Structure 1
Amino acid sequence: MSSTDAAATPDTARRGGEWLLAAAILSALLAALLPVARVVESNAWLVGALLLSVLVLAAGYNARRYHLPAIAVTLIEAAVWAVFMTLVFLRDTAILWIIPTLDTFRAVPQLVETAMEEIVLGAAPLEATLSVAFVVVGAMGLLTIIIDHVVVTARMPLLAAVGIVAVSLIPSIAVPGDVDLIGFVFLAVTILFVIRAETRSREKPLEQEAERSAGVPATAVGIGAIAIVVALVATPLLPQPTLRAGAGLGTGPGIDATLQLGDDLRRPQEVEVLRLRTDSANVPYLRATTLTRFEGGVWEPDRVRTVPLASELALGEVSVDPDIRVTEYTTDVEVLYLESVWAPIPYPAVTVTGLEGDWGAVPYNRTVVAQSGSTQGQSYEVVANQPRPTLEQIRALSAGGEQVRDETTELPTDTPPIIAQLAAEVTAEATNDYDRLTALQRWFRGSEFSYSLDAPVEDGFDGSGAEAVAQFLEQREGYCVHFASAFALMARTLSMPSRVVVGYLPGQPTNDAIGAEPVYSVTSSQLHAWPEVYFGGLGWIAFEPTSGLGVPTSFSPAAALPGQSGEPGESAPAASPSATAPTGVDETDPEQQRGGTAAGAAGTAVDPVPLVAVAVVVVIVLALPFLVRELRRRQLDIAARRGDAAAAWQTVQDAAIDLGISVPASETPRAFAQRLIVEHGVPASEINVVLIAIERVSYSRAGTRSYWIGDAAADAAAAVRVSLLAATPPARRILALLAPRSLVIRPGSVYAAGAPVRAR
């Protein structure tokens, strides 16, 4: 081979290594991007994000071929990013579709703000709107520039790996779910690919150097194999996360007003969303919004006019018949972790004070909605006027009246007949509307129905439409959405105005109290839906049909009211589901929903399997560095016995680094060996064998192989390692074995200088 060919070979190989490194970075970015598809509907944005990454990496590769400075490479990549984003998303505001103008820069904050609102207030999976796609694709391009700079320019692949892993975890944190083992394996493999490709791109393309690093791929494979085994074997043994509700992707869970609560209730990681206290005898439900229109087989959130919350027309007084008693009570709400445009409030509220920002009220359903901002971090006070009719009074009233809208009684023409048939059968013996509704309530809460978050999904009716309700009535398993929707539709078949409310259960009492008022904690798993029916002269009355959840609505006879003669123990009437002991039930726990004692009994038993599984995982994780270091040592020993003197010398250097002995680049092998003899008691005969071997091959034209020495160098290196360990204090020796520094620190690097460790 000519001298020209010899000179060209290293550069050609280096460029090949750079291409391989770019491909590795792209694969790692793809692994980090795929989890985003779980929270944003798959669309052209995925192709756009990958295309932008390819263009940025290609621009960086070509810029480095001309040996441009790092800042120039970054500027070129940034220019590619800006041109691509302008052409794809903002070409209408640009010159020749690619040159940004002032209008282009003005449009960017608007797109980002719109995307943030959709992300914070939306439900996963988000619709891939223009603004959301702009943020996702743009962020992917910027991440590509950063990772390319960190890996290729700064040569810090481990730091880049941390960033890639962090990005891949964002969707899982926002919308927790089952562990994606395939995605984890893919991510682990791509990160190992990046680390290996970065190392390979810096190696000299000589045969002897390739042989010297033969143990590196095996070490990487060993790390990956052990990590994958831990993921596949140990992960299924870990305790399953607690289920929670809430669909928001912002700083806290949100409220999904489309009655698609099944996925929300099945999500893990339950959190405390708010706290409340009240001077009412019964802790109230907190309503967020109502759904009245039943169009296309689904319930639609009310879209009615709002007025400023401070306006006299905002909420107003509660209008009931003159002889019906109205009780006023005050509730204080503190939002801890809830990102929603609807403020959860008791019904029927007459005043709401303390909300910060621009808020409006909906007089029709007495809800409060943000014109801008959200509930996160808000504290407010609600005054409600609760109608409390007697049993005789409500039985004398009819469901309906002139003030209700037509949409409260409408039913689709193709409503399954089973809904009306069962409504008629269940209420056949009742003589008034209230008794008909309580008959339905008792029927749903009876032994024929059971609470289930899984059965609806298994049978394909995880919804609230007429067909889903019909299937629910046949199978008789479901959760709050099915109970509320079925009750409301059955009431409409009986010519009663009805609607569905979305909000929260009253929560559970805490150990805190303010004055004489105990503080109640409401968690994300207590997101709930319940039906309401309108009574003329009284207003909307809530019912609780969900099996095992809360307390059913009931009213007491006039003779049983306080101060009257009647049976003891009767509770005062309430116009909303009562909130006594059972309301603390977690809606995501089927055993608690059934109200039996099995849940309490089960809570006293301790399942040892999760504890053992956690212990096994901890042991494996703690042993992982030792196993990887041992694998690397064996690879070096095999290479040394094949005649690789550099591998034998590497064994000595790694042992020194593990024990905190400095291995600076400025020190010659002979000076390093002499220091080990004098300061650490290493046998001179053994270290000299390894020293002579590395010195001979360092100045030999034959390369790093030294077959003449046989196994002598490998045996001597092993003896030096044993001597170093024996001369080290026990605590330091154990640390060197369990947390070997040589896995992350290379000889001669700035981190290879440690505090001197002297012999005992």
Structure 2
Amino acid sequence: MRPDLMPLSRAQRLALTATSFLFLVIATMALGPLIAGSGWWWLCAFIAAGTLFSGFGLRSIRTPPSLVPVLELVVLLLLLTLLFGGGTSVALIVPTAETFETFGELMAGAQRTIEQQSVPAIPVPPLTFALAVGIGLLAVVVDILVQTARMPALAAAPALVPILIPGFIIEAGAELPTLVLTAAAYLLLLRVDVRVRRRARLAAGEEGDQAATVIAPKRVPIVSTLGASLGLAAVGLLAASVLAASTPSVSTSLLLGSPSQGTLFARGVSPFIDLGRDLRRPEPLPAFHYLARDGDRPYFTLLTLDRFEGEVWSPTQTAVDGDNTVDQMPRPDGLSSAVETSQHPIDVVVDEVRTTWLPVPYPTARIEGLEGSWFWDDGALTVRSVDTNTGGQSYRVTRLDVEPTPQQLRNADRDLDDELASFLALPEEMPAIIAETAVALTASASPYDAAVAIQAYLRGAEFDYSTEAPVEDGYDGGGFDVIARFLETKAGYCVHFASTMAVLARESGIPSRISIGYTQGSPTDQRVDGVQRIEVDSHDLHAWPELYFEGVGWVPFEPTPGRGTVPGYSRPGAGEEGAPPLASAPPTGPGSTGRPDVDPDGGLAGQVADPVATATQLWIRSGVVALAVAVLLLLPALFRLSQRRARIRRIRRDERPADAAWDELAATALDLGAGGNGGETPREFAARLAEREAFDDARARAAIVRLRDAVERERYGPAGGGTAGAAASGSLVDDLATARAALLADAVGAERARALLMPHSLVDGVRRVLGGRARAGA
């Protein structure tokens, strides 16, 4: 790469670096609507500053220009190692092989968190790592365009990356104030470049290098560029406004991944239909196994459904709260200190189930040993991840065992907080059989006695467990029409029993919700440190209702006959004199019901994701991104090719052909770093080109001489004395091709690549509009 014809001082380099940094970090603010908090932005600012100002430092010590971008990438790697390498590095900044393995895991986690999180996303380490890598690479590209290639106008291309991303994810796109500030920072960068370049030209003129015949004033007048800058500012701000209003949202495109299991139910799709498909599978799929030292056999909750809109049950849509880490979970809602509780550790090892919802007992006090970022949801205390899934996880969950007495449940306060109103909501119009059944079962009963009566009724001899009857008779699901049909037919599987009890409870004034997850599983003969191993598979999938009692909180019930375990407090007559002890009955059959999975079309059973399908989707998304980047990078080359063809057409049409040929030759030289910036007469320029090694060839030397003579006759000769005629125009085209070929042959590979991808001549018009060209004349 040839030395800059107009070398800049350190102060000028610093000014360009500072404005480049300002432009990039302001553009990064466009990601604000997508990511919670501001810590991620300060991290990006730190990475951008380290990368850009390291380039300034390298140029200050006269590092060869071709090495500066490479060394900036090295600085970026050191910064990433310092921030994300942890104990895998040497002296905190020197990466090792283990560091690169960590980086690979972080990038894989970043892809998962992009697919799984909703906005605003929690800035978990994989996501912040991806942001740091991205901003660092953009900083290197901006520095190359502004400092090395000296084409700051093209710096808008990398800045468009963070500007456009919000438009692909949210409907509103980037915020208008951010677009306005970015446009203003871009104009500031162009203006600083203009003033720096003009001062550099003036300084070079004083020394006699590239001196013009007429020297411009030593002072750079502000007025000369103010009007053009204001005009361009108005155009830029108008374009920013249009961009903010028109950028489309394609959040469900292959570019960003298909909808994940984290939003499956939020889209209104009932989990119960998929659950029925899972229950009818002949062979169970392993899910996980666990060791419970105190003999615990709890249910494991994945997801809680609390919204009933008549046709479907769904969870309340809430964004993940980054403060809700699982190392310490809160006491469950409504639980008073009067209720006896105890804590029991359970070690869980996931086998094949893959989901972003973690199987945990309700309630749980804390969870240890998880890989990735996991957070609990308010109220339900369900646990989900934003950057990984349950695959291969091994963790210890400390279960909070709540042991209410029947009397505590019976004496629960009936005055409920307004916050519980949503757990009582029912459609205005329901089949009459639902209200009639609720009245018949719960008339004049306390909420607790009503709940016990509903459970006993559904577990009675009149009802049968069947996974086939709802499908055969066409009433599968959990809506109120399905519940009415179920109460008439009296045959269904766990989702019908759970949804029916939840609706009957709401009709009786008891807040209710539905949990889906797993029953206790099946004990094995294997023991680890004297503790029995329990296996859980897809036959243990289950759904059950939870009812709310003030002072106790959410309490599970088991209305499905022959499935799961009936809690002792929920048996008829529990706590009364002569009643059987409150021991839980052992499960009488394989547990069955639902849980969400990565693939909404594959049912809810825990399946291993198809690696071929996953790889195909990854390649498709990567291909789309690569194509978009390639088109963006090739745009300058396409514009330059279009400009060259337009000039050749001018030559063939005999429209000032010599001038068109000479402009194209000068543009080619400028792209290759061989001058041609207008500071020389045609004769001086031709003489300097003729001294280059490639023009030792007689044919090339003759071509440059003929081009020079033609443009001088056309520019300075008498009117009508220029070149004319088809034969002469064809000769000019041939001479131009010969001279261009010589220039290209004389350039090294890096110069030819720069001329193709970042043609310097393209921005000459922009500089001319901004007053960037020194008023040199002949």
Fold in common (TM above 0.5): no
Which has the higher relative contact order, 1 or 2, with Cα contacts under 8 A spaced 6 or more apart? 2
Q: Given the two structures, how large is their TM-score scaled by the length of structure 1? A: 0.42
Q: Given the two structures, how large is their TM-score scaled by the length of structure 2? A: 0.41
